[in-house]
């Protein structure tokens, strides 16, 4: 079954709030009209950025986390389509492709019990299926010469992003991960905490940098692996923001030096942003403005291949907050990556 649901003019009209004398982002974005020959359509279309949603939280469930990341895609669309179209936002360089529909899988997982080992095992098997669909759509986008912007879902989808980009480019890629956690846990079945370790073990990921790792939430065993492996590097949130051993900008330059020698993905986990509704919300994290600076900095390099914003978990009261946050990060990527 094809999981891709194309974004279309009917959906656009429902979400777009037109205003006299203004030109909205959604009035200028491109859309595809046919589900067939996606690669050819993308290749022939004069756009630079392709936005795709992954509304799921199965990887989070499979990692004993809190659900809600499936709602970030819709929250983002409502805001993104209604920002201003102008010389800065460059809507005509953007295609809204649509989203991968995992509603069937979400229904299956809603019947599982997170405290039962057998149910966690089932959920991890479902995540493997999700991986295949994410990797496939990423391969199509990247091989068509476009930059991907992936929104929503758990951090399990880093694996599909990396695998798809690596297959498209026929080489292992690098990744920089703005995250409180390493997501380099054991290969114990797929979930949101081991996307990078699986991608690394399978040869799709070469150099990996974790930016702002939280010392309180990283096991000794993972620190040991990171410290002993040349292609894996990190800095800690505490060294940058608390102990002030390292400036934010020096930290970014170190990460860029480690990852920019070949195509790389930019991974943004909303768990790292202070007081942002997410699957593992933190009272102590980077500010939204520092997160924006991070995206802009890493997008402003020819080898920046994709942006992935994940783990945001909006509730009813915070839908607009999450939509605005992710929209800022999307447009920061587009602006810095425009040339």
- CATH number where 311 lies: 3.40.800.10
Phi, psi (deg, nearest 5) at residue 277: -55, 115
Task: Give DSSP secondary structure letters for 259-306.
Answer: HTTS-EEEEEEGGGBTT--BTT--SSSB-HHHHHHHHHHHHSSTTEEE
**How do beta strands 147-151 and 94-100 pair?**
unpaired
pTM exceeds cut of 0.85: yes
Mean pLDDT of 291-301: 98
Mean pLDDT of 171-175: 98
> pLDDT tens-digit profile of 43-93?
999 999 999 999 999 999 999 998 899 999 999 999 999 999 999 999 999
Whether the pLDDT of residue 2 is over 90: the answer is: no
Q: Residue 24 carries which DSSP code?
A: B
- Given a cut of 60, whether residue 282 has pLDDT beyond it is yes
pLDDT higher than threshold 80 for residue 7: yes
Q: Which residues contact 52 (CB under 8 A, 6 or more apart)?
A: 97, 98, 99, 100, 137, 141, 148, 149, 150, 151
The values of phi and psi at residue 38, to 5°, are -55, -45
3-state helix, strand, coil in the chain (%, to 5): 45, 20, 35
Supply the pLDDT for residue 1.
Answer: 52
Domain that holds residue 331: 4-336
* Cβ count near 320 (within 10 Å): 12
Look at residue 338 and tell me whether its pLDDT is greater than 90.
no
The CB density around residue 147, as the number of other CB atoms within 10 Å, is 21
The answer to whether residue 190 scores a pLDDT higher than 60 is yes
Confidence bin at 106 (pLDDT 50/70/90) = very high
The tokens for 249 are 């900008």
Tens of pLDDT, residue by residue over 239-256, are 999 999 999 999 999 999
Domain count, the chain: 1
Annotate 242-268 with three-state secondary structure.
Answer: HCCCCCHHHHHHHHHHHHCCCCEEEEE
* pLDDT for the residue numbered 337: 81
pLDDT single digits (tens) 20-51: 999 999 999 999 999 999 999 999 999 999 99
Query: How much of the chain, in percent, has pLDDT values that exceed 70?
Result: 99
Residue 75 and residue 81: Cα distance in Å, rounded?
11
| Mean pLDDT computed over every residue of the chain | 97
Confidence of residue 117 (pLDDT cuts 50, 70, 90): very high
């Amino acid at each position: 079954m094809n999981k891709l649901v194309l974004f279309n003019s009917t959906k656009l009209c429902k979400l777009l709030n037109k205003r006299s004398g203004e030109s909205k982002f959604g009035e200028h974005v491109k859309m595809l009209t046919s589900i067939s020959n996606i690669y050819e359509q993308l290749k022939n279309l004069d756009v630079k950025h392709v936005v795709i949603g992954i509304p799921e939280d199965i990887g989070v469930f499979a990692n004993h986390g809190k659900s809600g990341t499936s709602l970030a895609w819709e929250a983002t669309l409502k805001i993104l389509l209604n920002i201003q179209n102008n010389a800065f936002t460059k809507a005509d360089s953007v295609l809204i492709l649509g989203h991968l529909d995992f509603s069937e899988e979400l229904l299956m997982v809603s019947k599982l019990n997170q405290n039962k080992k057998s149910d966690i095992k089932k959920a991890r098997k479902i995540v493997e299926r999700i991986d295949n669909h994410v990797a496939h759509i990423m391969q199509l986008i990247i091989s068509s010469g476009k930059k991907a912007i992936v929104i929503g879902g758990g951090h399990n989808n880093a694996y599909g992003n990396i695998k798809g980009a690596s297959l498209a480019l026929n080489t292992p890629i690098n990744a920089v991960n703005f995250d409180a956690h390493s997501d380099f846990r054991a290969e114990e079945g797929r979930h949101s905490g081991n996307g990078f370790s699986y991608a690394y073990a399978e040869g799709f990921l070469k150099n990996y940098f974790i930016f702002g790792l939280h010392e309180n939430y990283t096991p000794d065993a993972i620190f040991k692996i990171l410290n002993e492996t040349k292609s894996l590097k990190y800095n800690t949130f505490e060294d940058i923001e608390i102990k002030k051993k390292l400036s934010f900008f020096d930290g970014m330059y170190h990460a860029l030096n480690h990852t920019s020698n070949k195509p790389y993905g930019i991974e943004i986990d909303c768990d790292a942003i202070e007081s942002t509704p997410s699957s593992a919300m933190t009272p102590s994290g980077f500010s939204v403005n520092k997160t924006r600076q991070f995206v802009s900095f890493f997008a402003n390099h020819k080898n920046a291949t994709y942006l992935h914003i994940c783990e945001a978990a909006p509730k009813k009261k915070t839908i607009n907050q999450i939509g605005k946050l992710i929209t800022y990060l999307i447009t920061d990527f587009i602006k810095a990556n425009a040339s």
